[in-house]
Structure 1
């Protein structure tokens, strides 16, 4: 699962994230600790502190908070889901799976726990059983786009293209505003060489989210594949206007400009291309494709 897909899924798990964007963490934590000492809303206080620690990536403290909830409420399925999520973030997958299974044992109709179990199985490379869990979650709630998205992404990454497209299509039918499903289906169509279908999906995303740098970059790739270089450059520039630090777009624009330079040296300044590539390397010195292109250009001049 690529980082974009993982980020999208994790935005939806766990369900109750409160106060995680507060900058003054210590002051807020002190507030909740005082509430606990006074015996007021201890469960909610531990939940909120747990998510603050998660946001800080302090998983040990987050785990302590969620385990405290289980001491107070041993039959709380959501608490088991949250404990499992922390274990998952700590890469302790067996413990995570056990916690999710306990959540499911307490609420046998909880699709979230089933999805979580499927996700662990997928992380462990047990794709067949992961698919079974995602399908089980879908049967529990056929309107559940989270389960379908996990299933679609699994199919996608296992090169089961038709199955992935079927699931992405069903997600969009159920939720016409599901931007990530549209984007992934567009990316998949592009991978399969169906540029017109890919462009249609990306355009649908842009109707709902016009300021999406990733999508403008993808549109640029389609124009470039169709040898429409001016349109590609225009799309890349739109992407960079939204996110000047977008590494892929900076590389794509520099690479296309270099192709143009080779055919028509007067249209593009080679120094501008090199500056763009050097800028990307200043952000990420490990970007190998950028380093390779820059070295290639330096050898030519």
Structure 2
């Protein structure tokens, strides 16, 4: 704040604390007219536009920062996430690729890249992104989860199974891990195992209609 010698920045942060995000943006943007090359102000504005869900304005602010600090990997990361949320998947991949090419270790970069490829219908590229992360961090929960999802989407159920099985062995696994494992067991005709997974889902989430439907289906059509 002292950097700019203006009490209005304190006013802006007060607006943020009170949830008056647009008022805070107005204050920061007014200061940017005086200090157009302030990366601090530009980052604040970008973050607030992200909160507001105005991704194009958020991205624009990050691009201005990168003109001033072209080697800032953190900014590429934040911009890539905003681009993903704006469904600008190809541009997001370019931003995340910059991070990987820099040699900096940011594991979530591979997750976001994988998600971008997945939503573009490029499942194999998505799988490759998760594979690269799992080579670095074999126990990464999110990488195992999304790898399982991508493999299941391509019909590679036997390959998906160990990723979901690994997830449910963790402490307090997410309910969706049990659900996807159950669906994958069904695809590989392991109905008893699938039934147990859907039962676990319903124990954790009694109102999960999808799991209830699958559980009832197995009980009705595949009871032994």
Same fold (TM over 0.5): yes
**Is 2:42 aligned against 1:49?**
no
1:206 is aligned to 202
Aligned counterpart in structure 2 of residue 172 of structure 1, from 160, 168, 172: 168
Root-mean-square deviation (CA, aligned residues, Å) is 3.1
* Count, aligned residues: 201
**Is 2:108 aligned against 1:115?**
no
Cα distance, 1:162 vs structure 2:
0.7
Contact 2:179/2:197 (<8 A) preserved: yes
Distance 2:87 2:181 in 1: 29
Contact 1:109/1:140 (<8 A) preserved: no
Cα distance, 1:199 vs structure 2:
1.6
Q: Could you list the runs of 5+ residues in structure 1 that have no partner in the other structure? A: 1-21, 228-301
For 1:79-113, what per-residue CA distance to the aligned partner results, in whole angstroms no more than 9, with x for missing partners?
21232233334443332211111122345321111
Q: What secondary structure is seen at the aligned counterpart in 2 of 1:151?
A: helix
Distance 2:94 2:187 in 1: 37
Contact 1:100/1:113 (<8 A) preserved: yes
Distance 1:118 1:177 in 2: 22
Distance 1:68 1:50, change over 3 A: farther
Aligned counterpart in structure 1 of residue 94 of structure 2, from 77, 98, 104: 98
Q: What secondary structure is seen at the aligned counterpart in 1 of 2:105?
A: coil
Distance 2:112 2:178 in 1: 23
Distance 1:91 1:30, change over 3 A: same
Q: Could you list the runs of 5+ residues in structure 2 that have no partner in the other structure? A: 1-15, 33-37
2:26 is aligned to 33
Contact 1:177/1:208 (<8 A) preserved: no
TM-score, with structure 2 as normaliser: 0.73
Distance 1:30 1:69 in 2: 22
Aligned counterpart in structure 2 of residue 66 of structure 1, from 62, 69, 74: 62
Superposition map of 1:146-165 within 5 A: 146-165=142-161
Contact 1:131/1:151 (<8 A) preserved: yes
Distance 2:43 2:82 in 1: 17
Distance 2:218 2:46 in 1: 46
**Is 2:181 aligned against 1:185?**
yes
Contact 2:43/2:62 (<8 A) preserved: no
Cα distance, 1:47 vs structure 2:
4.4
Cα distance, 1:182 vs structure 2:
1.1
Q: What secondary structure is seen at the aligned counterpart in 2 of 1:70?
A: helix
Cα distance, 1:69 vs structure 2:
4.4
Cα distance, 1:49 vs structure 2:
1.4
Cα distance, 1:158 vs structure 2:
0.8
Q: What secondary structure is seen at the aligned counterpart in 2 of 1:142?
A: coil
**Is 2:72 aligned against 1:76?**
yes
Q: What secondary structure is seen at the aligned counterpart in 1 of 2:71?
A: coil
Cα distance, 1:68 vs structure 2:
4.2
Distance 1:111 1:196, change over 3 A: same
Distance 2:142 2:42 in 1: 27
